[in-house]
Structure 1
Amino acid sequence: MLKHNMDWLRRSMALLLSSFFIILSTGVNAYDATSYTENTEHHNIPLRLTASSITKIDLKPWLYIHNSNDVTEIANLKLQNNNQSQWRKLTSNDLRKIGAKNTWLSFSLYNPNDQLSRIIALDNPLMDSIKLFHLVNNELLNIEHMGDTLPFDQRPLQSNLFLYPFDIKPGELHTFYFKIDNRGSLNFPLVLWSKNDFSHAIETQSLANGFQIGILIAIGVFSLFIALASGSFSYSYYSGYVICLTVIVASIHGIAFQYLWPNWPSLQQLAVPVLIPLALAFALMFTEKVMQLKYHSKPMLLLGRYLAVYCILLSLIVSFIDFKFSLYLLSFSVIFISFILIIFSLIQVFKRTKNARLYAIGRIGLFVGSLFSGLMYLGYLNWAVFPQTPVMIGLTFEVVIMAAVLAMRYNDERKAKLQMQQKALEQAVRLQQNRDEALRAEAEANERLEQMVAERTLELEVTLRELNEANQKLTQQNTIDSLTGVKNRSEFDRRLTAEGRISRRQQTSLALLMLDIDKFKAINDEHGHLAGDHSIKVIATTISDYLKRPTDLVSRFGGEEFAIILPNTDSEGAMTLAEHVRLAISKLSINWEGSPIPLFVSIGVSAAVVETEEHPTLLLEQADKALYQAKRGGRNQVCQFSPE
């Protein structure tokens, strides 16, 4: 039983390996819809061609292969044509071999009666180098060099297939030799067409290829836009996977070489080997996201990531290793990773993971398509379709199914987000209600607090007002003379310093007046001290009445002396004001207990622009000296300080 299972496994691996060899090393065989039987006839028997012949002829039954691969030129080949053992019929085993160096294929056409135009079509766009020698009646007519190692514009006809048109006249024998160098298999699907039927067939094939590639491009671009708009890694990986598959399919059909990089043959050589492991890496990362392996299986998650790293490294190094080895390595990688992805999906199906069943259907669809292509290629199935058709159908089916999986995943995520948003909204409403309640409680507390603060503030304001009034009273008591109500000596000293600084800064004149009551001792002795105090108050009131400016200041300097500060006043103005004060006082008539008290004063004046900090004190001394000068001059007069 174990041996039977191992044989079945080896046979399945061989079938899958063969199907992926088709993708990696050959194009789509668009015209080989019939099989052929082995023919042991000689190489020089030509295909008889007439106007009544069918317009599509599969040339496989007429192809001969040269056994000696060391022949490099047509001249040497013609010398060996006499040895018929060097040529034999081309078989299916020859087509499965990997690598062809200096391999020669040949067939002949004979036209007995009609003038004909035909096209030889080789539907393998991945052939590296084909050198075609066209002989007419054993004479060399033309040489064409084709292959994807040459720029696209060097082909005889600008087509993704290798085409060679020719005309054949009645009675001519046309012999064609193909010298082939190819790193892949010797898959040589050669068909002889009439021009009209070929145009119709190529249009049908182009429509089918364009439809398939168009589906892949549409899905890939749409997924890319969804990834950019939503920031979803699932759509990003799927978009990368589909875009890689699109370029691979376009390269296999030769369409990428025709339209994307026609002047870069080296890129055509590298496109498929580099993009296949890159597509596998995207498929692994996409599987990780869409199957949510992070939450369901850590071993599968780690295995998928390790395989993705392996695929990325393989994509980087595959162009630097031997092509035959890389072909086997890529084929093994594709088969192994495909099995791993199918196993992942089946495990998730058994675990009832959401979307796992649809994902498994897509993977199994691609596997079945690859299996049928392998069976057809090995000859186990003989269907009237192209060998690559099942794998291409499976590939398109898998891409569409994965798009459906992503759509369902996106819908599930959208519903989950809506539910989360609904829960978040309900939670936000509850939070808002709690916040409103907290705000109401805070407002009530703030209102009570504000009421308490207002009460305390009112009490504080009352207290501050009382303190301010008391402070003002205290200040007045500290600056006001208690007897006369004018400023006292300390306030005079403070104001004298301040006005001196203003005079110095503004360069304005400052005037000082020193006033003394004449014969004040006689008043006290004759009428008493109360009469003297009354006289002092009357004189203080009279002086205050003559000081009109707010900046003017009168203060009681001593017992019967007064000092007056006149800011911004020169000596002339100060003398005028002093004289007015003196006259006003001299005209006062005071009666004290029926006795008249005459009042006279002497005034000393000093005025100057203050120059230094000590200058105000000097002005005061000068005014005092002028006062004593007025006293000595006879009293009841005004005297201005003069240095003389």
Structure 2
Amino acid sequence: MPRFLSVMVLWPLLTMLLASPAAAMPATLTLNADQQAYTVGPWLEILEDKSAGLAVEDVMASDQWRPSQSESVNLGVTHSDWWFRFSAHSEYRREQLFLLEIAYSNLDVIEIFLVDENRVIETFTMGDHFPFHRRPIDHHNFVTPVYWPAEKTLDVYLHVRSSGAMQLPLTIWHPADFSASDQKRQLAAGLYFGAMFIMVLYNLFMYFGIGDRSFIFYVGFVGCISLFVSSLTGYSFQYLWPEAISWNEKSIGFFLSLAVNFAVMFTHRFLGASDETRPWLIRQGLRLMYLLSLAMLLSSLFVPYTRMLVIVIGGSVLACIAALILGIYGWVKGEIAARHYVLAWSSVMIGGLVLAGNKASLLPQNAITDNAVQIGSLMLVAMLSFAIAHRLNEERRRRYDAQYEALTHERNARAAKEDALLAQQRANAELEKKVEERTEALRKANTILEELSETDVLTGLKNRRYLDEAGKREYVRCFRYRRPVSLVFVDLDHFKSLNDTHGHLIGDDCLRTVA
């Protein structure tokens, strides 16, 4: 029983020890018609050249090779040169053309050596430290044609130098399969850049139509992000500046820094970060981010590439964090546009972190990590477009509400004015009526007074005053028309004797009776 247990324990260890030499030495890759493409990573061996002075003859004789143990080599940022090798055997009975693709466009120097029985039979040199026309095939990635002899095994050695991330996603293609796959990739790239270009044009027209500076900042941001992605994927070097080697190395950091600069200005304008109602810390933080973006911009032009990458990527992450904090603050305050803003920057921040993790060899290299920036930036552009559209709708609604409120106030003011006018008219009519009544009363009073002034109180007949005025009138009338006038007097005989004898009361009665 103890012997059985010993065998059970030692057998796996013995198996691993016996298997480890075989595992350490990758097998030969077989090329045939059964596969469309061959991922070379599992068959690769790696050798680090810290002195950057080894020749192909030196590495061929070296025993320091180690297997890559991954489908896509990703060594992160390193200061060493690296050598890679693999062996492949063609089962075709005739010489066959294959395409060797390195799907990473930011490698400084690439030397490919085809070795047959320890003899170099062909050499290719390329990289972004050489003019684009030096590449054997016009492609944004590094694609090399290799004519494989019939039923032959070739050793392929690759010498790679990079001041950035050391990545080697190596694939062997049949030409027709490469063309079909590349068409899909070019279509995806065309859709991406086309969407970004449409957003640039649309928001540029919106700026000219509305005049809001947030649109021009957004246009600058989208344009710089597009150029950053184009430089990162090699399209700019292929189509825009194929001979500008030095500028091509700086362009990635430059456009990313400029995009951050536009993003900070857009944030200030879009979320009102300069508003005095914002917390002091947020306002000062955005000002610092603006200064940081300027420092990033200068570093992209004057700082060595490796250090520049650290500054630019670190600054971009800080800018995303600051933008998220400001957006979350606005979201908490109830600003609906800030919600889209937070979602937009979350997507690009995740994409940026995935890219940084990919370049730092913390995340594996695959279709998602390689295109994280494109995915994140496209989501960012879409979400920011929603945010801008929502803000425009919100401003339009506020203007409509303000216009409606102003119109309501105007209507109320007009109604109040009409009511006041009606009240004034009624008051005037009432006053006029009262004036007429008072005038009529005054006229009647004057008439009565005049009657009283012309009438004798005792007899009720016209008095001496009336006689004087009537006499004057009649005299003037008769004089005007030349007519005669007559005056009749009635005298009461012995009235004075009656008045003296019987008293004034009897005299008054006598006068009243005669009248």
TM-score by length of 2: 0.69
The one of 313, 333, 348 equivalent to 1:331 is 313
Aligned to 1:168: 148
Q: Unaligned regions of 5+ residues in structure 2, if any? A: 1-18, 418-515
Aligned to 1:510: none
Deviations 1:573-616 (A, max 9, x none): xxxxxxxxxxxxxxxxxxxxxxxxxxxxxxxxxxxxxxxxxxxx
Write out aligned runs for 1:416-435 (5 A): 416-418=398-400
Equivalents in 2 of 1:80, 1:343: separation in Å? 52
Stretch moving more, 204-213 or 422-431: 422-431
Report the number of matched residues. Answer: 393
SS at match of 1:286: helix
The question of whether the paired residues in 1 share the 8 Å contact of 2:99 and 2:174 is answered with yes
Equivalents in 1 of 2:52, 2:271: separation in Å? 56
The one of 80, 88, 91 equivalent to 2:66 is 88
Aligned to 2:15: none
Equivalents in 2 of 1:428, 1:353: separation in Å? 30
Write out aligned runs for 1:72-151 (5 A): 72=53, 74=55, 77-84=56-63, 86-90=64-68, 95-115=74-94, 116-151=96-131
Aligned to 2:159: 179
**Is structure 2 residue 221 aligned with structure 1 residue 241?**
yes
Equivalents in 1 of 2:252, 2:353: separation in Å? 20
Deviation for aligned residue 1:252: 1.5
The question of whether the paired residues in 1 share the 8 Å contact of 2:32 and 2:91 is answered with no
Q: Which amino acid letter does the alignment assign opposite residue 413 of structure 1?
A: E
Stretch moving more, 179-188 or 327-336: 327-336
Q: Which amino acid letter does the alignment assign opposite residue 158 of structure 1?
A: D
The one of 219, 230, 246 equivalent to 1:266 is 246
**Is structure 2 residue 275 aligned with structure 1 residue 275?**
no
Deviation for aligned residue 1:90: 2.6
SS at match of 2:384: helix
Aligned to 2:376: 394
Deviation for aligned residue 1:376: 7.7
Write out aligned runs for 1:237-386 (5 A): 237-295=217-275, 296-299=277-280, 300-370=282-352, 385-386=367-368
Equivalents in 2 of 1:200, 1:94: separation in Å? 24
The question of whether the paired residues in 2 share the 8 Å contact of 1:67 and 1:88 is answered with no
The question of whether the paired residues in 2 share the 8 Å contact of 1:58 and 1:190 is answered with yes
Deviation for aligned residue 1:395: 1.9
Say if 1:218 and 1:149 are closer, same or farther in 2 by CA, change over 3 A. same
Say if 1:67 and 1:148 are closer, same or farther in 2 by CA, change over 3 A. closer
Aligned to 1:588: none
The question of whether the paired residues in 1 share the 8 Å contact of 2:74 and 2:364 is answered with no
**Is structure 2 residue 27 aligned with structure 1 residue 49?**
no
Equivalents in 1 of 2:101, 2:330: separation in Å? 47
Equivalents in 1 of 2:113, 2:365: separation in Å? 34
Stretch moving more, 123-132 or 173-182: 173-182
Equivalents in 2 of 1:107, 1:383: separation in Å? 20
Deviation for aligned residue 1:375: 7.3
Deviations 1:364-401 (A, max 9, x none): 22334455667788999889843234443222111100
Equivalents in 1 of 2:365, 2:155: separation in Å? 32
The question of whether the paired residues in 1 share the 8 Å contact of 2:260 and 2:316 is answered with yes
Equivalents in 1 of 2:309, 2:260: separation in Å? 15
Equivalents in 1 of 2:59, 2:379: separation in Å? 51
Say if 1:141 and 1:416 are closer, same or farther in 2 by CA, change over 3 A. same
Note the aligned Cα RMSD (angstroms): 3.2
Equivalents in 1 of 2:257, 2:353: separation in Å? 20
Deviations 1:12-55 (A, max 9, x none): xxxxxxxxxxxxxxxxxxxxxxxxxx986599866242424422
Aligned to 1:193: 173
Equivalents in 1 of 2:288, 2:360: separation in Å? 33
SS at match of 1:183: coil
SS at match of 2:369: coil
Equivalents in 2 of 1:171, 1:368: separation in Å? 47
Q: Unaligned regions of 5+ residues in structure 1, if any? A: 1-37, 435-644
The question of whether the paired residues in 2 share the 8 Å contact of 1:137 and 1:172 is answered with no
The question of whether the paired residues in 2 share the 8 Å contact of 1:155 and 1:162 is answered with yes
Equivalents in 2 of 1:88, 1:243: separation in Å? 43
Write out aligned runs for 1:451-600 (5 A): none
Q: Which amino acid letter does the alignment assign opposite residue 136 of structure 1?
A: D
Q: Which amino acid letter does the alignment assign opposite residue 106 of structure 1?
A: R
Equivalents in 2 of 1:45, 1:404: separation in Å? 52
Instruction: Give identity over the alignment, percent.
Output: 22
Q: Which amino acid letter does the alignment assign opposite residue 54 of structure 1?
A: Q
Aligned to 1:403: 385
**Is structure 2 residue 392 aligned with structure 1 residue 414?**
no
Deviation for aligned residue 1:420: 5.2
Deviations 1:396-446 (A, max 9, x none): 111100011111222233344455566778899989xx9xxxxxxxxxxxx
Say if 1:125 and 1:400 are closer, same or farther in 2 by CA, change over 3 A. same
Q: Which amino acid letter does the alignment assign opposite residue 351 of structure 1?
A: K
Q: Which amino acid letter does the alignment assign opposite residue 88 of structure 1?
A: R
Deviation for aligned residue 1:229: 3.0
Deviations 1:452-504 (A, max 9, x none): xxxxxxxxxxxxxxxxxxxxxxxxxxxxxxxxxxxxxxxxxxxxxxxxxxxxx
Say if 1:40 and 1:290 are closer, same or farther in 2 by CA, change over 3 A. farther
Aligned to 1:523: none
Q: Which amino acid letter does the alignment assign opposite residue 335 of structure 1?
A: V
Say if 1:119 and 1:394 are closer, same or farther in 2 by CA, change over 3 A. same
Q: Which amino acid letter does the alignment assign opposite residue 284 of structure 2?
A: L
Say if 1:128 and 1:380 are closer, same or farther in 2 by CA, change over 3 A. closer
